[in-house]
Amino acid sequence: MTVTEIGKALTGNRLYDGEVVFLTRTGIWSETIDAAAVALEPLSQAALEKRGEAAVANNQVTEAYLIDVERRNGRVRAQHIRERIRALGPTVRQDLGKQSDGTGGGFAAHA
């Protein structure tokens, strides 16, 4: 049985190296989209957005924003192709980026 939750996750770029990161439930910025906290309700989404604003103000990340995601059987997939590419790495070379080492989430950019 496939369990799918539709919600939002918070993403940004880590300030010191520019790496794409996702906020986890424990408040840590992870390079892995599967670790992202998925907010299902509007109040939870607003709380994530506030945490992003604070992280930007504290110079942890730049341009923190919410993205549409789905969590399916424990794996997280960005809904928009741009965000899938950010999570995976280059689309022309699948031997590079997070997709090459299995940390880009359980879904291909094109699927």
Report how far residue 9's alpha carbon sits from residue 92's, in angstroms, rounded to the nearest whole number.
Answer: 26
Rounded CA Rg of the chain:
13
Mean pLDDT of 27-34: 95
Express each pLDDT in 53-103 by its tens digit: 999 999 999 999 999 999 988 899 999 989 988 888 766 666 666 656 655
C-alpha 91/C-alpha 80 separation (Å) is: 14
Alpha carbon distance 5, 91 (integer Å)? 26
The DSSP H or E segment spanning 49 is: helix 42-57
Fill in the amino acid letter for 38.
Answer: V
pLDDT at site 11: 98
Residue spans per domain, the chain: 4-98
